[in-house]
Amino acid sequence: MKKILMIAAVLAATPALAADPVGSAAPVPANAQTFQQLDTNRDGFLSFSESFPNARVANSFNLLDTNADGLISPSEFAAIFR
């Protein structure tokens, strides 16, 4: 009986483990233009994968990342409009 309860507990927890870790974030528009639209994880920086919806940012990622930390800050992002 104890084994059955343990299996039931594991099976009950499985959907929670398979859930989307980001939650119900809105999808990024294909033509996302603003920093806030592109920053899907809301950490205040753009990773290379977050830049994909905007070809201009993605194609210039290494040029915009002036400190070469692998992320684009809001001030680095603003440089694209200068």
Instruction: Report how far residue 37's alpha carbon sits from residue 53's, in angstroms, rounded to the nearest whole number.
Output: 9
46-79, pLDDT tens digit by residue? 999 999 999 989 999 999 999 999 999 999 999 8
**What pLDDT sits at residue 29?**
63
Q: What is the mean pLDDT of residues 11-16?
A: 50
Q: What percent of the chain has pLDDT over 90?
A: 52
Cβ neighbours, 10 Å, residue 20: 7
Cα–Cα separations (whole angstroms), residue 63 to 52, 76, 79: 15, 9, 10
